[in-house]
Amino acid sequence: MPSPTKEGTEAGATIEEATRFSPKFGPDGTLPAVAICAQTGEVLMLAYMNDEALARTLETGEAHYWSRSRGKLWKKGETSGNVQKVVELRTDCDQDAVLLKVEMIGSPAACHTGRRSCFYRVAEMGGAADGKDGSFGPLRFVDAERLFDPETVYGAE
Amino acid sequence: MPSPTKEGTEAGATIEEATRFSPKFGPDGTLPAVAICAQTGEVLMLAYMNDEALARTLETGEAHYWSRSRGKLWKKGETSGNVQKVVELRTDCDQDAVLLKVEMIGSPAACHTGRRSCFYRVAEMGGAADGKDGSFGPLRFVDAERLFDPETVYGAE
Protein backbone atom coordinates (compact mmCIF):
# COMPACT_ATOMS: atom_id res chain seq x y z
CA MET A 1 0.00 0.00 0.00
CA PRO A 2 1.48 3.40 -0.92
CA SER A 3 2.73 5.65 1.82
CA PRO A 4 0.13 8.25 2.80
CA THR A 5 2.65 11.04 2.39
CA LYS A 6 4.13 9.87 -0.90
CA GLU A 7 3.65 12.21 -3.81
CA GLY A 8 3.82 10.94 -7.35
CA THR A 9 1.83 9.47 -10.15
CA GLU A 10 -1.59 8.07 -9.56
CA ALA A 11 -0.69 4.80 -11.27
CA GLY A 12 -1.76 2.02 -8.97
CA ALA A 13 -2.96 4.35 -6.22
CA THR A 14 -6.32 3.41 -4.79
CA ILE A 15 -8.99 6.08 -4.48
CA GLU A 16 -8.27 6.10 -0.74
CA GLU A 17 -4.55 6.83 -1.19
CA ALA A 18 -4.71 9.01 -4.31
CA THR A 19 -2.99 12.38 -4.19
CA ARG A 20 -5.26 13.92 -6.84
CA PHE A 21 -8.76 15.12 -6.06
CA SER A 22 -11.02 13.20 -8.45
CA PRO A 23 -14.43 13.49 -6.82
CA LYS A 24 -17.04 10.86 -7.46
CA PHE A 25 -20.34 12.58 -8.09
CA GLY A 26 -23.51 10.54 -7.68
CA PRO A 27 -26.05 9.59 -10.37
CA ASP A 28 -27.57 13.09 -10.15
CA GLY A 29 -24.16 14.73 -10.58
CA THR A 30 -23.82 15.85 -6.97
CA LEU A 31 -22.06 14.86 -3.77
CA PRO A 32 -22.84 15.83 -0.18
CA ALA A 33 -20.90 18.68 1.41
CA VAL A 34 -20.80 19.08 5.18
CA ALA A 35 -20.00 22.58 6.44
CA ILE A 36 -18.47 22.95 9.90
CA CYS A 37 -17.48 26.06 11.82
CA ALA A 38 -13.75 26.68 11.35
CA GLN A 39 -13.45 27.95 14.92
CA THR A 40 -15.54 25.48 16.92
CA GLY A 41 -15.90 22.48 14.61
CA GLU A 42 -19.70 22.49 15.01
CA VAL A 43 -21.60 20.90 12.13
CA LEU A 44 -23.61 23.72 10.56
CA MET A 45 -25.30 22.18 7.53
CA LEU A 46 -25.26 19.54 4.83
CA ALA A 47 -25.86 20.55 1.23
CA TYR A 48 -24.84 19.29 -2.21
CA MET A 49 -22.27 20.29 -4.79
CA ASN A 50 -22.06 19.48 -8.47
CA ASP A 51 -18.81 19.89 -10.39
CA GLU A 52 -19.44 23.58 -11.05
CA ALA A 53 -20.28 24.35 -7.42
CA LEU A 54 -17.13 22.56 -6.31
CA ALA A 55 -14.97 24.35 -8.89
CA ARG A 56 -16.35 27.77 -7.93
CA THR A 57 -15.86 27.02 -4.24
CA LEU A 58 -12.22 26.06 -4.77
CA GLU A 59 -11.59 29.04 -7.08
CA THR A 60 -13.29 31.74 -5.02
CA GLY A 61 -12.88 30.44 -1.48
CA GLU A 62 -16.61 31.01 -0.93
CA ALA A 63 -19.03 28.11 -0.58
CA HIS A 64 -21.21 27.37 -3.60
CA TYR A 65 -23.76 24.58 -3.64
CA TRP A 66 -26.17 22.96 -6.05
CA SER A 67 -29.80 23.36 -5.07
CA ARG A 68 -31.49 20.07 -5.87
CA SER A 69 -34.94 21.52 -5.23
CA ARG A 70 -34.43 24.58 -7.44
CA GLY A 71 -32.09 22.88 -9.93
CA LYS A 72 -29.56 25.71 -9.87
CA LEU A 73 -26.17 26.79 -8.64
CA TRP A 74 -26.40 28.65 -5.39
CA LYS A 75 -23.80 30.80 -3.67
CA LYS A 76 -24.37 30.56 0.05
CA GLY A 77 -25.31 34.03 1.26
CA GLU A 78 -26.35 35.40 -2.12
CA THR A 79 -29.70 36.42 -0.62
CA SER A 80 -29.03 36.54 3.11
CA GLY A 81 -25.53 38.03 2.89
CA ASN A 82 -24.33 35.25 5.16
CA VAL A 83 -21.47 34.10 2.96
CA GLN A 84 -19.31 31.15 3.97
CA LYS A 85 -15.59 31.77 3.64
CA VAL A 86 -13.97 28.38 3.10
CA VAL A 87 -10.84 27.98 5.19
CA GLU A 88 -10.26 24.35 4.24
CA LEU A 89 -11.91 21.73 2.03
CA ARG A 90 -11.34 18.03 2.62
CA THR A 91 -12.54 14.96 0.80
CA ASP A 92 -13.19 11.53 2.28
CA CYS A 93 -11.68 8.11 1.68
CA ASP A 94 -13.96 7.32 -1.27
CA GLN A 95 -13.86 10.89 -2.62
CA ASP A 96 -17.65 11.00 -2.74
CA ALA A 97 -18.20 13.59 0.00
CA VAL A 98 -16.51 16.82 1.10
CA LEU A 99 -16.05 18.60 4.40
CA LEU A 100 -15.76 22.39 4.48
CA LYS A 101 -14.34 24.40 7.37
CA VAL A 102 -16.06 27.75 7.04
CA GLU A 103 -16.11 31.17 8.60
CA MET A 104 -19.59 32.63 8.55
CA ILE A 105 -19.56 36.21 7.25
CA GLY A 106 -22.42 38.34 8.57
CA SER A 107 -24.72 36.30 10.78
CA PRO A 108 -23.33 33.17 12.46
CA ALA A 109 -26.57 31.42 11.43
CA ALA A 110 -26.06 28.89 8.63
CA CYS A 111 -29.62 27.56 8.46
CA HIS A 112 -32.30 29.17 6.30
CA THR A 113 -34.61 29.05 9.32
CA GLY A 114 -32.35 31.58 11.03
CA ARG A 115 -30.69 29.08 13.31
CA ARG A 116 -26.99 28.56 13.88
CA SER A 117 -27.06 24.97 12.57
CA CYS A 118 -29.60 23.02 10.52
CA PHE A 119 -29.33 20.22 13.08
CA TYR A 120 -31.56 21.67 15.81
CA ARG A 121 -33.83 18.68 16.48
CA VAL A 122 -33.05 15.47 18.35
CA ALA A 123 -34.84 12.20 17.56
CA GLU A 124 -35.90 9.94 20.41
CA MET A 125 -33.81 6.79 20.75
CA GLY A 126 -35.34 3.39 21.53
CA GLY A 127 -38.99 2.46 21.37
CA ALA A 128 -41.05 1.46 18.39
CA ALA A 129 -39.49 3.85 15.96
CA ASP A 130 -39.93 1.54 13.01
CA GLY A 131 -41.05 4.13 10.51
CA LYS A 132 -44.02 1.96 9.49
CA ASP A 133 -46.38 4.92 9.69
CA GLY A 134 -43.78 7.09 7.96
CA SER A 135 -42.70 8.54 11.28
CA PHE A 136 -39.73 7.70 13.44
CA GLY A 137 -41.09 9.25 16.61
CA PRO A 138 -40.96 12.63 18.28
CA LEU A 139 -38.39 15.35 17.73
CA ARG A 140 -37.12 17.62 20.47
CA PHE A 141 -35.81 21.10 19.65
CA VAL A 142 -32.31 21.94 20.96
CA ASP A 143 -30.00 24.88 20.19
CA ALA A 144 -32.97 26.18 18.19
CA GLU A 145 -32.78 29.89 18.91
CA ARG A 146 -33.29 32.01 15.81
CA LEU A 147 -30.42 34.41 15.12
CA PHE A 148 -32.28 36.10 12.29
CA ASP A 149 -35.86 36.32 11.12
CA PRO A 150 -36.16 34.31 7.88
CA GLU A 151 -39.15 36.36 6.71
CA THR A 152 -37.13 39.57 6.96
CA VAL A 153 -34.14 38.03 5.19
CA TYR A 154 -35.84 35.92 2.53
CA GLY A 155 -39.31 37.48 2.41
CA ALA A 156 -42.60 35.82 3.30
CA GLU A 157 -43.40 32.69 1.31
CA MET B 1 -44.92 30.42 12.47
CA PRO B 2 -45.25 27.84 15.25
CA SER B 3 -43.13 28.17 18.34
CA PRO B 4 -40.07 25.92 18.16
CA THR B 5 -40.80 24.47 21.56
CA LYS B 6 -44.51 23.90 21.00
CA GLU B 7 -45.67 20.30 21.12
CA GLY B 8 -48.84 19.23 19.43
CA THR B 9 -50.32 18.06 16.19
CA GLU B 10 -48.44 18.31 12.94
CA ALA B 11 -51.34 20.03 11.23
CA GLY B 12 -49.92 23.08 9.51
CA ALA B 13 -46.37 22.54 10.79
CA THR B 14 -43.73 22.96 8.14
CA ILE B 15 -41.10 20.27 7.78
CA GLU B 16 -38.68 22.67 9.48
CA GLU B 17 -40.86 23.11 12.56
CA ALA B 18 -42.39 19.63 12.75
CA THR B 19 -42.14 17.78 16.04
CA ARG B 20 -42.36 14.33 14.42
CA PHE B 21 -39.39 12.72 12.70
CA SER B 22 -40.56 12.00 9.15
CA PRO B 23 -37.29 11.60 7.25
CA LYS B 24 -37.20 12.31 3.55
CA PHE B 25 -35.23 9.56 1.87
CA GLY B 26 -33.83 10.23 -1.59
CA PRO B 27 -34.73 8.53 -4.88
CA ASP B 28 -32.54 5.54 -3.92
CA GLY B 29 -34.25 5.24 -0.54
CA THR B 30 -31.34 6.62 1.49
CA LEU B 31 -30.24 9.79 3.20
CA PRO B 32 -26.77 10.91 4.28
CA ALA B 33 -25.71 10.37 7.89
CA VAL B 34 -22.78 12.29 9.36
CA ALA B 35 -21.11 10.70 12.37
CA ILE B 36 -19.23 12.94 14.77
CA CYS B 37 -17.30 12.07 17.93
CA ALA B 38 -19.56 12.60 20.96
CA GLN B 39 -16.60 13.83 23.03
CA THR B 40 -14.75 16.11 20.62
CA GLY B 41 -17.29 16.89 17.90
CA GLU B 42 -14.84 15.83 15.15
CA VAL B 43 -16.48 14.71 11.92
CA LEU B 44 -15.59 11.03 11.57
CA MET B 45 -17.44 9.85 8.47
CA LEU B 46 -20.37 10.26 6.14
CA ALA B 47 -22.42 7.21 5.18
CA TYR B 48 -26.01 6.48 4.15
CA MET B 49 -29.07 5.10 5.89
CA ASN B 50 -32.24 3.64 4.45
CA ASP B 51 -35.38 3.30 6.56
CA GLU B 52 -34.29 -0.03 8.01
CA ALA B 53 -30.81 1.23 8.95
CA LEU B 54 -32.35 4.25 10.62
CA ALA B 55 -34.93 2.16 12.50
CA ARG B 56 -32.27 -0.28 13.75
CA THR B 57 -30.02 2.58 14.80
CA LEU B 58 -32.80 4.20 16.83
CA GLU B 59 -33.88 0.86 18.32
CA THR B 60 -30.47 -0.52 19.25
CA GLY B 61 -28.46 2.64 19.87
CA GLU B 62 -25.76 1.29 17.56
CA ALA B 63 -25.11 2.84 14.16
CA HIS B 64 -26.40 0.89 11.16
CA TYR B 65 -25.93 2.09 7.60
CA TRP B 66 -26.93 1.08 4.11
CA SER B 67 -24.00 0.14 1.92
CA ARG B 68 -24.76 1.55 -1.51
CA SER B 69 -21.84 -0.32 -3.09
CA ARG B 70 -22.77 -3.69 -1.60
CA GLY B 71 -26.53 -3.10 -1.58
CA LYS B 72 -26.97 -4.32 1.98
CA LEU B 73 -27.62 -3.26 5.53
CA TRP B 74 -24.39 -2.83 7.45
CA LYS B 75 -23.85 -2.56 11.17
CA LYS B 76 -20.79 -0.41 11.76
CA GLY B 77 -18.19 -2.59 13.44
CA GLU B 78 -19.71 -5.93 12.41
CA THR B 79 -16.33 -6.96 10.94
CA SER B 80 -13.87 -4.64 12.66
CA GLY B 81 -15.50 -4.70 16.09
CA ASN B 82 -15.39 -0.91 16.07
CA VAL B 83 -19.05 -0.37 16.89
CA GLN B 84 -20.49 3.15 17.11
CA LYS B 85 -22.63 3.73 20.19
CA VAL B 86 -25.09 6.48 19.25
CA VAL B 87 -25.41 9.03 22.02
CA GLU B 88 -27.68 11.38 20.06
CA LEU B 89 -29.29 11.47 16.63
CA ARG B 90 -30.41 14.75 15.10
CA THR B 91 -32.14 15.58 11.85
CA ASP B 92 -31.79 18.75 9.82
CA CYS B 93 -34.25 21.44 8.80
CA ASP B 94 -35.46 19.56 5.72
CA GLN B 95 -35.34 16.15 7.46
CA ASP B 96 -33.25 14.74 4.62
CA ALA B 97 -29.99 14.23 6.54
CA VAL B 98 -29.04 13.04 10.01
CA LEU B 99 -26.21 13.78 12.42
CA LEU B 100 -25.04 11.13 14.87
CA LYS B 101 -22.99 11.79 17.97
CA VAL B 102 -21.14 8.53 18.52
CA GLU B 103 -18.79 6.88 20.96
CA MET B 104 -16.38 4.59 19.16
CA ILE B 105 -16.18 1.20 20.88
CA GLY B 106 -12.84 -0.58 20.36
CA SER B 107 -10.57 1.44 18.10
CA PRO B 108 -11.14 5.20 17.84
CA ALA B 109 -10.69 4.82 14.07
CA ALA B 110 -13.94 5.25 12.13
CA CYS B 111 -12.50 4.93 8.62
CA HIS B 112 -12.08 1.58 6.87
CA THR B 113 -8.52 2.65 5.99
CA GLY B 114 -7.67 2.53 9.69
CA ARG B 115 -7.71 6.28 10.18
CA ARG B 116 -9.56 8.23 12.84
CA SER B 117 -11.71 10.10 10.31
CA CYS B 118 -12.47 9.51 6.63
CA PHE B 119 -11.62 13.18 5.99
CA TYR B 120 -7.81 12.92 5.99
CA ARG B 121 -7.05 14.78 2.75
CA VAL B 122 -7.15 18.50 2.04
CA ALA B 123 -7.84 19.87 -1.45
CA GLU B 124 -5.84 22.84 -2.69
CA MET B 125 -7.83 26.08 -2.84
CA GLY B 126 -7.51 28.54 -5.72
CA GLY B 127 -5.90 27.91 -9.07
CA ALA B 128 -7.31 26.24 -12.14
CA ALA B 129 -9.23 23.58 -10.29
CA ASP B 130 -11.94 23.42 -12.90
CA GLY B 131 -12.34 19.67 -13.01
CA LYS B 132 -12.15 19.72 -16.81
CA ASP B 133 -9.68 16.81 -16.80
CA GLY B 134 -11.75 15.09 -14.12
CA SER B 135 -9.37 16.29 -11.44
CA PHE B 136 -9.69 19.17 -9.03
CA GLY B 137 -5.99 19.40 -8.20
CA PRO B 138 -3.68 17.90 -5.60
CA LEU B 139 -4.65 16.43 -2.25
CA ARG B 140 -2.53 16.76 0.87
CA PHE B 141 -2.72 14.14 3.62
CA VAL B 142 -3.41 15.45 7.14
CA ASP B 143 -4.33 13.60 10.35
CA ALA B 144 -3.72 10.48 8.27
CA GLU B 145 -2.04 8.20 10.79
CA ARG B 146 -3.38 4.66 10.67
CA LEU B 147 -4.71 3.46 14.03
CA PHE B 148 -5.25 -0.07 12.75
CA ASP B 149 -4.04 -2.10 9.80
CA PRO B 150 -6.97 -2.61 7.44
CA GLU B 151 -5.48 -5.82 6.02
CA THR B 152 -5.35 -7.37 9.48
CA VAL B 153 -8.89 -6.25 10.30
CA TYR B 154 -10.66 -6.81 6.98
CA GLY B 155 -8.25 -9.21 5.24
CA ALA B 156 -6.27 -8.57 2.06
CA GLU B 157 -8.38 -7.67 -0.95
Q: Is the pLDDT of residue B66 over 60?
A: yes
What pLDDT score was predicted for residue B80? 86
* pLDDT of amino acid A154: 86
Class of domain B31-152: alpha beta
| Residue A132: predicted pLDDT | 66
Mean pLDDT score of chain A:
89
3-class secondary-structure state, position B56? helix
Residue B149 contacts A, CB cutoff 8 Å = no
pLDDT at B154: 86
CB A75 within 8 A of CB A86: no
Give just the sign of the alpha carbon dihedral A143, A148, A153, A155.
positive
Residues 6+ apart with CB under 8 A from B23: A131, A136, B31, B51, B54, B91, B95, B96, B98
C-alpha span between A152 and A139 (Å, rounded): 27
Contact A21 B123 (CB under 8 A): yes
Chain A residue numbers touching B123 (CB-CB < 8 A): 21, 58, 89-91, 98
Pairing relationship of beta strands B31-37 and A139-141 according to DSSP bridges: unpaired
Task: Give yes or no for B15 touching A (CB within 8 A).
Answer: no
Q: Is the pLDDT of residue B5 over 80?
A: no
> What fold does the segment set A31-154 form as a domain?
Ubiquitin-like (UB roll) (3.10.20)
Over residues A21-47, mean pLDDT: 97
- Four-CA torsion B138, A85, A47, A130, nearest 10 degrees: 110
State mean pLDDT over A78-104.
96
In this predicted structure, the answer to whether residue B97 has a pLDDT above a threshold of 90 is yes
Q: Does residue A44 belong to the interface with chain B, where contact is any CB pair within 8 Å?
A: no
ipTM: 0.90
A138 min Cα distance to partner chain B (Å): 4
A121/B91 touch (CB, cutoff 8 Å), yes or no: yes
* B79 touching chain A per CB within 8 A: no
